[in-house]
């Protein structure tokens, strides 16, 4: 059974075979990474791996089946945040299961606990359309849910962000639909976790149009890549797929100073396995280097 001591010894040995530790880019942007593929590791081990790869923080799934279940947030989230602080890192984005104010989603408990610990923003859960029902009416039906959630978040002091997904029934897939509501709020109160993979998938050649529509309401910029396998979307390392590298410099030219989140969703396997972990470590370092080039930092 792996212990923390064994884990750290494995990390140390990898230093001789994997690429050198990445340097955190010197920029105004906090650079974090989505930790979904590291579920099963301790908070300390996640923080150590992130710091080694040169990240400033993490985007962590604190939701059902995530690192921490919502009902355990009050007890467990302080431990995660403290583990990050010991490595000079932060919880840049809390990825939640929240899309309304409700007891079922533990909305107030999760968000108040996060805000007290210094977490400044969270990614909302998605909404889905019923394709058998009129679309516009369904979009209007989420307005009061968003209004109540935004009001609570403003009181608490945490920013809600909505991620645009790709898919036939996702709210936000065409971007304009959620933006038609979002534009009524200041960006500090409600913004996109803008996902260039899903924007490219849905927009094809028109993704610059969608980006320019929402660029003043981007609370976090997600970087990841994909290829088509027939009609199926398959995630790949950044720079090996359909996403246009020009997007990075386009984003920077707007003067964007918000967080940047690197997603490595193509990584599979048990991170407690030293061989799998070695591959993960190399992927973090490689993708961080590519991302720096896209943004004009390299």
DSSP tag of 232 = E
Distance CA 208, CA 202 (A): 12
Strands (E), 88-158: 90-95, 121-123
The ranges assigned to domains in the chain are: 4-294
- The yes-or-no verdict on residue 240 having pLDDT over 60 is yes
Nearest alpha-carbon partner for 33 in 73, 66, 2, 61: 61
**Residue whose token pair is 């081990």:** 45
- The yes-or-no verdict on residue 92 having pLDDT over 70 is yes
Fold of 4-294: TIM Barrel (3.20.20)
Residues 117-126: tens digit of each pLDDT: 999 999 999 9
Nearest alpha-carbon partner for 209 in 250, 178, 241: 250
Distance CA 55, CA 33 (A): 7
| Overall size of the chain counted in residues | 298
- Note the pTM of the prediction, 2 decimals: 0.90
Residues 247-265: tens digit of each pLDDT: 999 999 999 999 999 999 9
Number of other CB atoms surrounding residue 1 within 10 Å: 4
């Amino acid at each position: 059974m792996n212990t923390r001591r064994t884990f750290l010894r494995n990390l140390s040995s990898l230093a001789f075979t994997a690429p050198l530790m990445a340097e955190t880019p010197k920029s105004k942007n906090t650079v974090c990474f989505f930790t979904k593929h590291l579920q099963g590791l301790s908070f300390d081990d996640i923080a150590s791996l992130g710091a080694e790869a040169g990240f400033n923080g993490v985007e962590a799934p604190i939701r059902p089946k995530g690192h921490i279940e919502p009902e355990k947030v009050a007890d467990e989230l302080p431990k995660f945040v403290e583990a990050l602080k010991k490595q000079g890192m932060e919880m840049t984005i809390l990825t939640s299961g929240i899309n309304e104010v409700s007891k079922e989603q533990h909305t107030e408990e999760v968000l108040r606990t996060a805000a007290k610990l210094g977490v400044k923003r969270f990614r909302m859960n998605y909404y889905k359309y019923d394709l058998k029902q009129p679309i516009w009416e369904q979009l209007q039906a989420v307005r009061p849910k968003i209004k109540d959630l935004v009001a609570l978040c403003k009181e608490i002091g945490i920013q809600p962000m909505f991620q645009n997904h790709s898919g036939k029934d996702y709210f936000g897939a065409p971007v304009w639909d959620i933006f038609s509501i979002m534009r009524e709020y200041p960006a500090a109160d409600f913004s996109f976790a803008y996902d260039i993979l899903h924007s490219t998938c849905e927009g094809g050649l028109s993704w610059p149009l969608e980006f320019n529509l929402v660029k003043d309401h981007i609370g976090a910029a997600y970087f990841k890549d994909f290829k088509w396998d027939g009609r199926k979307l398959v995630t790949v390392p950044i720079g090996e797929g359909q996403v246009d590298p020009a997007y990075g410099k386009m984003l920077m030219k707007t003067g964007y100073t918000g967080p940047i989140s690197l997603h490595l969703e193509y990584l599979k396997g048990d991170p407690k396995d030293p061989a799998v972990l070695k591959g993960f470590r190399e992927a973090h370092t490689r993708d961080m280097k590519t991302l720096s080039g896209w943004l004009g930092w390299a």
